């Protein structure tokens, strides 16, 4: 009779092994969590995930008073934990610091900060007004830094460290097409590198800093967006036929941004992300399961960054070849409000998040 002896990796290598019990590492019991931009959308959903995982206190920092107050009522009612709303514009570094100090005073500390507050513009670079450009950078980049600095200081001073998660975007990796959004793209690329920089500086203090880069998510603002463009983002085309890949899916004609848009498939999974589809990654980054993970960016985009922006040369080639591609030109359905040529409306100027 033979005997099988299984030696653990710890025994064979001598390396210390963390205790078992993987699911317990996904808990946030006793942790205080704060979310900027948590009054609605992705931020609110990620906050809910933290609460489901056992957070002991929840704070929302946002400009939207009504949404923020409603959100903390829901959190308190559903999870039975203390929850506070701080009406703060993240551009105001003094107000951000006061809010974070208030959270530490009211809840006894801060263990997790998630920065989700963000805005976007779709304006062409050549005529981008300076104040609009600065606004996007102020909210999306400077606002993230102010919140990280204020929370990071408490995490460092506590000696316990903490986890900071900043919501960047696939737009920090690629240049979205066809909508022009130079300020947004630059702000999100900067958030990714800012977070890596903070991660390196604060690793000795056990403060971890990571980012999540979402693709097209079906949030309130995107729901209102031009249905044709949304369809193009979602479009999934067979790889079997290159003619399909070169299909002309959408024509945009606007005064400021005139293009015939030959769109490759935008999101290989063929849909936009659901509002709660970042929550698993956010929880992972917030909790002990990711203790060795810092300075990392997790792209969650249904693989939309796979193909990036088609090079201009190929656009030109496609432009001249489009009429020869029988299945290329897709007429919008007659019933669609955006179907007539006059109703192929310009991208809305209202902020849209990508
Ligand atoms: N929705 C997408 O497709 C998508 C894709 C990639 C990245 N993102 C990013 O995810 C984050 C959340 O986006 P969302 O889709 O949930 O949008 P959303 O508009 O629903 O949520 C953004 C929140 O930020 C708050 N906010 C905006 N400006 C603020 C300010 N100056 N101070 C404080 N709070 C402010 C808003 O009030 C709102 O509650 C943003 O950073 C966005 O750039 C979104």
Q: Is 157 found in the same domain as 88?
A: yes
Instruction: Please state the domain count of the chain.
Output: 2
Global pTM reads 0.81
pLDDT score at 124: 96
pLDDT score at 8: 41
Is residue 284 included in any domain, yes or no?
yes
DSSP, res 289? G
Q: At what angle do helices 182-202 and 143-158 cross, to 10 degrees?
A: 10
Is residue 147 within 8 A of residue 36, CB to CB? The reply is: yes
Is residue 318 included in any domain, yes or no?
yes
Is residue 249 included in any domain, yes or no?
yes
Is residue 12 included in any domain, yes or no?
no
Is residue 75 within 8 A of residue 58, CB to CB? The reply is: yes
Q: Is the pLDDT of residue 96 over 50?
A: yes
Spacing, Cα 298 to ligand 1 middle (Å): 18
Q: Is 148 found in the same domain as 259?
A: no
Q: Is the pLDDT of residue 42 over 70?
A: yes
pLDDT score at 178: 82
Q: Is the pLDDT of residue 312 over 80?
A: no
Query: Residues 321-328: what's their mean pLDDT?
Result: 30
Q: Ligand 1: which residue has its CA nearest to atom 21?
A: 41
Is residue 38 included in any domain, yes or no?
yes
pLDDT tens per residue, range 233-248:
665 544 333 333 333 3
Q: Is 143 found in the same domain as 287?
A: yes
CATH number for the domain harbouring residue 51? 3.40.50.720
Query: Residues 319-345: what's their mean pLDDT?
Result: 29
Q: Ligand 1: which residue has its CA nearest to atom 43?
A: 118
Spacing, Cα 188 to ligand 1 middle (Å): 12
Q: Is the pLDDT of residue 249 over 70?
A: no
Spacing, Cα 227 to ligand 1 middle (Å): 20
Is residue 204 included in any domain, yes or no?
yes
Q: Is 202 found in the same domain as 85?
A: yes
Q: Is the pLDDT of residue 263 over 90?
A: no
Is residue 2 included in any domain, yes or no?
no
DSSP, res 145? H
Q: Is 80 found in the same domain as 46?
A: yes
Is residue 83 within 8 A of residue 314, CB to CB? The reply is: no
Give the N- to C-terminal CA distance of the chain in Å, as an integer: 64
Catalytic residues, by residue number, are 169, 184, 188
Spacing, Cα 20 to ligand 1 middle (Å): 37
Q: Is 80 found in the same domain as 203?
A: yes
Q: What residues line ligand 1, using a CB cutoff of 6 Å? A: 36-37, 39-43, 62-64, 89-91, 116-119, 139, 143, 167, 169, 214, 216-217, 219-222, 353-354
Q: Is the pLDDT of residue 324 over 60?
A: no
Domain of residue 327, residue span: 224-271+311-346
Q: Is 291 found in the same domain as 147?
A: yes
pLDDT tens per residue, range 120-152:
989 999 999 999 999 999 999 999 999 999 999
Is residue 352 within 8 A of residue 222, CB to CB? The reply is: yes
Is residue 352 included in any domain, yes or no?
no
């Amino acid at each position: 009779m033979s005997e099988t002896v299984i030696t653990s990796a710890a025994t064979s290598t001598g390396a210390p092994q963390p205790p078992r019990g993987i699911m317990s590492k996904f808990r946030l019991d006793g942790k205080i969590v704060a979310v900027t931009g948590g009054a609605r959308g992705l931020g609110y959903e990620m906050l809910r995930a933290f609460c489901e995982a056992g957070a002991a206190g929840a704070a929302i920092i946002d400009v939207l008073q009504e949404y923020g107050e409603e959100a903390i009522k829901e959190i308190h009612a559903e999870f039975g934990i203390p929850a506070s709303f701080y009406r703060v514009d993240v551009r105001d570094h003094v107000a951000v610091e006061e809010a974070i100090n208030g959270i530490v005073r009211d809840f006894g500390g801060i263990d997790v900060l998630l920065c989700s507050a963000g805005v976007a513009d779709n304006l062409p670079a050549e005529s981008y007004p300076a104040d609009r450009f600065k606004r996007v950078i102020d909210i999306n980049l400077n606002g993230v830094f102010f919140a990280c600095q204020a929370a990071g200081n408490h995490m460092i001073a506590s000696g316990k460290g903490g986890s900071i998660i900043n919501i960047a975007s696939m737009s920090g990796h690629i240049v979205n097409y066809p909508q022009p959004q130079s300020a947004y793209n630059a702000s999100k690329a900067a958030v990714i590198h800012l977070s890596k920089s903070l991660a390196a500086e604060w690793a000795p203090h056990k403060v971890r800093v990571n980012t999540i880069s979402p693709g097209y998510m079906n949030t309130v603002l995107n729901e209102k967006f031009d249905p044709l463009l949304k369809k193009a983002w979602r479009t999934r085309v067979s790889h079997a036929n290159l003619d399909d890949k070169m299909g002309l899916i959408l024509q945009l004609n606007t005064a400021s941004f005139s293009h015939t848009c030959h769109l490759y498939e935008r999101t290989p999974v063929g849909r936009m992300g659901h509002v709660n589809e970042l929550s698993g990654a956010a929880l992972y980054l917030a909790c002990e399961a990711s203790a060795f993970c810092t300075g990392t960016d997790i792209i969650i985009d249904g693989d939309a960054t796979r193909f990036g922006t088609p090079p201009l040369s190929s656009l030109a080639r496609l432009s001249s070849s489009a009429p020869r591609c029988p299945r290329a030109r897709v007429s919008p359905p007659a019933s669609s409000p955006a179907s007539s040529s006059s109703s192929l409306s310009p991208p809305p100027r209202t902020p849209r998040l990508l």
